[in-house]
Structures are given as C-alpha cells and as structure tokens.
C-alpha cells in the first residue's frame, strides 16, 4: 500500500499506459450530435466510454494494473471490491491475462454488472452493504490466498490507465482541428478524472476541467472547498450506483485540487432526464453515473459560452433493463 502511495503519477505514466492498452482496449470514438450542439449553443465532443470493453472506462485501468503483475503475482491472482464496473474491468483483464480474480461486491449491485462479472470467470463474494466491510473481506482474501489487491481508483497504474481516456480525447479533438475550452467528467473516487486531468493538463493547458458528482455525494466539492480530503457520510442511495464514493482518493485529490475549476452536483431527476436525452436523441445507452456530465450540460449547471468546444465523458452504460425501462418511460 505505502509503496503505491509513495510515488506520484504523471503524464508519462498515462502515455506508458496507452502503449500497454494498444490492441487491448477499444479506442472509443469522439462523436458529435448536431442536435446537442444546437441545444447547448456550443460544440460538444462526446467520448462514449459506454462503447469500451465491459461497457465502461474501468477496463483501461484494470488492464494497465494487471498486465504489470509479476509472474508470481499472476499465479496468486487478484482481489478487488466494487459495485460493478471496476469489478467487470478487473474480471475481464484477469481472464485475458490468465490470472484468477475474486471480486467483493455488494449484494444489491446491479444485476447486469454482477452477471457480467461472473461471465468473465471471476469468483464473486457478496457482502451486505449495511453490516459488513468490503475492505475487511478483501483483506482476508488477500491474506489467505496471497492475491494482489487492485484498488478501484487510488493506485497510480489505475489512474494512468483511466487517463488514456483524456489522452485519446485531446488527440481526437486535434484531428478535428478542435481544442477543448472546457471538459467535464463524472467523478467518484477520482481515478478517471485524475487520469484525464494529467493528460489534458499536459496536452491542452488552457482547458478548464470539471468533475460532476451526485448531490449528497459531494465529497469532491467539500474537499475542494476545505482544501483537504473531506469524507461524507452517505444518508441515502443515489441513482448513480457507480458514484457513491465517500471520499476522494489520497493520490487523486492532489491532482484534482491543483487542476480543477470545480465540482458540479446533479440530482437523481436530472440524471434520469439526461439518460432519457441520451436514449431519445443520442441513441446511446448510458447508466446513471455515466450521465451526470451530460446532465450538467442540459441543466445549464456548467456555464458554456456560445461557440465554445466542450469535452464530455459518458463513462459507462451498465444499467439494468428494469431501471432503464422506468427511466425512458419517465417513471424515474
């Protein structure tokens, strides 16, 4: 643990991750909707990580971490805890690399995420969100089997892997002759946004960066305001199962603190409205946590000057059909 946290993560790590991911992760396209552009009055370049392997960006970081395991570590396997997308990313990366994976998941995780994690061959250990500690369960597995713990965000290799999203976005925008005035991404623990920040700061210093989190899970906003990592005590569930983190990471917070313009907060009804917009107009399946950036645009919570170019990350699309059906019918 301390070994991991003792070293910082840099843009060079993101570049190295991109080389490791080449041919393994999908280079998702950067797409554009004239209808969305017209509605926002700006050019919105969308990075649909919904089209990534496992339906979310999480494969990038997981593969970048697991491909660097030593031969001995590969034999012992990995253990991770996650409500779903990191679980799938680790499970698929482990399958591709031939290493056993054990995943600690809450018993109420979305069924689609649990089924996919199982389908990739991982062994799932369920826990009760209210009475058990996933950290303790994972630590016990690691102690018993020697498995390497793969954190969901606070790890330099994970952050560097997720950062390839930002690297691709800047280069794809350049290929269109564009540069981002602003860029916004969902944020939970900060692995994705931290990695993106490293890439964007290096390649496009003038871009303003924003994190978007669910209301009542505004640990990033509180931390930025306090000037130090500040945990929240969740008192409700969010529609955004992927963004219910209680505190930004030790490694990710300094990166975010030094580079973000701020954090925006989105309510559940605003998320549902953004998912409907993605269904009706963009024709994309986006999960609640993946749609908060789009919601920040549609609600006007992100202030956009006419004619600006805005980068938008749709981070995942793993949503149960029952919930998606309710959302598109306007019942949520």
Q: Is 285 in the site for a copy of itself (CB under 8 A)?
A: yes
Judged by CB under 8 A, which stretch of 142-150, 202-210, 267-275, 281-289 contacts a copy of itself? 281-289
Cα distance between residue 259 and residue 194, in whole Å? 9
Contact (CB, 8 A) for 85 and 47: no
CB count in 10 Å sphere of residue 267: 16
Among residues 170, 256, 284, 298, which is the contact residue for a copy of itself, using CB under 8 A? 284
Decide: 89 and 98 in contact? Cβ < 8 Å. Answer: no
Residue (29 or 262) nearer to a copy of itself, CB: 29
- 67 near a copy of itself, rule: CB under 8 A: no
Question: Within 13 A of 81's CA, how many CA atoms are on the CB side?
Answer: 21
Of the candidate residues 5, 22, 26, 111, the single one contacting a copy of itself (CB under 8 A): 26
Q: Cβ 272 to a copy of itself, closest distance in Å?
A: 12
* Contact indicator for 207, 200 with CB cutoff of 8 Å: yes
Could you tell me which stretch among 155-163, 259-267, 279-287, 301-309 binds a copy of itself (CB under 8 A)? 279-287
Report how far apart, in Å, the C-alpha atoms of 241 and of each of 108, 292, 319, 323 are.
10, 12, 10, 12
175 near a copy of itself, judged by CB under 8 A: no
CB of 104 to a copy of itself, least distance (A): 24
> How far, in Å, are 58, 117, 121, 147, 283 from residue 93 at the CA level?
10, 11, 11, 15, 28
Query: Which tokens in the block code for residue 36?
Result: 């969305």
51 binds a copy of itself (CB under 8 A): yes
Residue 9 CB, nearest distance to a copy of itself (Å)? 27
Q: Residue for token digits 């949520």?
A: 332
Integer Cα distance of 200 and 269 in angstroms = 31
Phi, psi of 56 (to 5 degrees): -165, 160
Complex with a copy of itself: residue 30 or 147, whichever CB lies closer: 30
**Binds a copy of itself by CB under 8 A, chosen from 39, 201, 279, 301:** 279
* Least spacing, CB of residue 48 vs a copy of itself, in Å: 8
Count of residues interacting with a copy of itself (CB under 8 A): 32
Residue 260 CB partners (closer than 8 Å, separation 6+): 193, 197, 209, 210, 211, 224
Told to check if 307 binds a copy of itself by CB under 8 A, we report no
32 makes contact with a copy of itself (CB under 8 A): yes
Q: Which stretch binds a copy of itself (CB under 8 A): 141-149, 226-234, 297-305, 318-326?
A: 318-326
Two structure tokens written together for 95: 């399958």
Q: Which positions touch a copy of itself (CB under 8 A)?
A: 26, 28-29, 31-35, 48, 50-51, 53, 55, 112, 276, 279-286, 317, 321-322, 324-326, 328-330
């Amino acid at each position: 643990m301390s070994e991991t946290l003792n070293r910082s993560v840099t843009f060079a790590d993101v570049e190295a991750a991109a080389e490791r991911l080449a041919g393994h992760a999908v280079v998702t396209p950067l797409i554009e909707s004239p209808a969305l552009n017209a509605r926002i009055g700006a050019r919105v370049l969308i990075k649909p990580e919904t089209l990534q392997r496992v339906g979310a960006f999480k494969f990038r970081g997981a593969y970048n971490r697991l491909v660097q395991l030593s031969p001995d570590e590969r034999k012992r396997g990995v253990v991770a805890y996650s409500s779903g997308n990191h679980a799938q990313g680790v499970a698929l990366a482990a399958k591709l690399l031939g290493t056993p994976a054990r995943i600690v998941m809450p018993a109420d995780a979305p069924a689609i995420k649990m089924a996919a994690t199982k389908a990739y061959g991982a062994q799932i250990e369920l826990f009760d969100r209210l009475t058990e500690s996933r950290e303790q369960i994972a630590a016990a597995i690691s102690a018993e089997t020697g498995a390497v713990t793969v954190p969901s965000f606070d790890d330099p290799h994970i952050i560097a892997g997720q950062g390839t999203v930002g690297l691709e976005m800047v280069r794809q925008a350049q290929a269109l002759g564009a540069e981002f005035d602003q860029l916004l991404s969902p944020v939970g623990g900060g692995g994705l946004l931290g990695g993106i920040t490293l890439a964007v700061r290096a390649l496009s210093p003038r871009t303003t960066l924003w994190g978007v989190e669910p209301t009542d899970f505004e640990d990033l906003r509180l931390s930025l305001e306090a000037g130090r990592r500040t945990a929240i005590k969740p008192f409700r569930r969010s529609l955004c199962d992927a963004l219910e983190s209680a505190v930004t990471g030790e490694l990710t917070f300094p990166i975010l603190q030094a580079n973000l313009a701020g954090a925006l907060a989105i309510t559940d009804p605003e998320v549902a409205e953004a998912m409907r917009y993605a269904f009706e107009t963009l024709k994309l399946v986006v999960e609640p946590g993946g749609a908060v950036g789009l919601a920040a645009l549609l609600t006007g919570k992100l202030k956009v000057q006419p004619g600006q170019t805005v980068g938008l990350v749709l981070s995942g699309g793993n949503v149960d059909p029952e919930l998606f059906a309710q959302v598109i019918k306007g019942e949520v």
